[in-house]
C-alpha cells in the first residue's frame, strides 16, 4: 500500500533525526553536568547521560528491525535547543540563576525527545513494528521520568536559590 510506504519513509526519516539528536545530547550532557552548581542537578545530568547511551543503542535496534543501517540526519531543532543551552552557560557563568537556566535548557531537550518518541512509537505500532514500538516506549518513559525529576529539582531548590540572590 502506498500509504504504508509513505509512513515507513517518514518513520525512517524521523528515526535518523532522533538518532542524530541523541548523539548530540550525549556530547552536551557532560558539559551541562560540569557547569551545574547544584549536586542534585549534576547527578540528574550524569544519570541521564548513562540512560542516553541506552537510547542510542535502542535506536540502533530499531534501525535493525527496519532492516536499515543506523544513520543520523542533521536535526536543526536539537542544534538550536543545545545552542541556547550553551548560551545560558556562557551568559550566566558564576551567577545564581545558572542552574535554573541549565535546568530549563535540559527540559527543552526532554520535551523535544518526548514529542519525537511519542510520534515514532505511534508510527511503529501502525507499521506493525511491535518490537520497535516497545523499545521506543521504554525510551519515552525514561525521557518523561527525567523531565519529571528536573521539574522536582527546579521546584525544590534551584528556583529558590535564584530568588534568594
Q: What is the C-alpha to C-alpha distance for residues 32 and 110, in angstroms, rounded to an integer?
A: 14
- Are the CB atoms for 73 and 16 separated by under 8 Å? yes
Nearest CA to 27 among 71, 85, 69? 85
Binding to Fe ion by residue 17, rule CB under 5 A?
no
* C-beta closer to Fe ion: residue 151 or 160: 151
* C-beta closer to Fe ion: residue 62 or 162: 62
* C-beta closer to Fe ion: residue 59 or 162: 59
- Are the CB atoms for 41 and 103 separated by under 8 Å? yes
Nearest residue relative to Fe ion (C-beta): 55
Size of the site for Fe ion (CB under 5 A): 4
Binding to Fe ion by residue 113, rule CB under 5 A?
yes
Alpha helices in 93-158 (DSSP H): 98-126, 130-153
Binding to Fe ion by residue 55, rule CB under 5 A?
yes
Contacts with Fe ion by CB under 5 A lie at 52, 55, 113, 143
Amino acid at each position: 500500500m502506498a500509504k504504508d510506504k509513505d509512513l515507513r519513509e517518514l518513520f525512517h526519516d524521523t528515526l535518523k533525526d532522533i538518532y542524530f539528536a541523541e548523539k548530540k545530547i550525549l556530547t552536551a550532557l557532560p558539559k551541562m553536568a560540569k557547569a551545574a552548581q547544584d549536586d542534585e542537578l549534576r547527578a540528574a545530568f550524569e544519570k541521564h547521560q548513562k540512560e542516553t547511551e541506552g537510547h542510542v543503542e535502542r535506536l540502533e535496534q530499531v534501525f535493525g528491525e527496519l532492516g536499515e543501517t543506523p544513520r543520523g540526519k542533521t536535526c536543526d531543532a536539537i542544534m538550536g535547543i543545545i545552542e541556547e543551552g550553551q548560551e545560558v552557560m556562557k551568559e550566566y557563568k558564576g551567577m545564581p540563576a545558572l542552574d535554573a537556566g541549565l535546568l530549563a535548557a535540559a527540559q527543552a531537550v526532554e520535551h523535544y525527545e518526548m514529542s519525537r518518541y511519542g510520534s515514532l512509537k505511534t508510527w511503529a505500532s501502525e507499521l506493525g513494528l511491535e518490537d520497535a514500538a516497545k523499545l521506543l516506549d521504554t525510551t519515552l518513559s525514561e525521557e518523561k521520568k527525567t523531565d519529571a525529576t528536573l521539574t522536582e529539582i527546579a521546584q525544590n531548590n534551584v528556583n529558590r536559590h535564584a530568588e534568594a540572590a
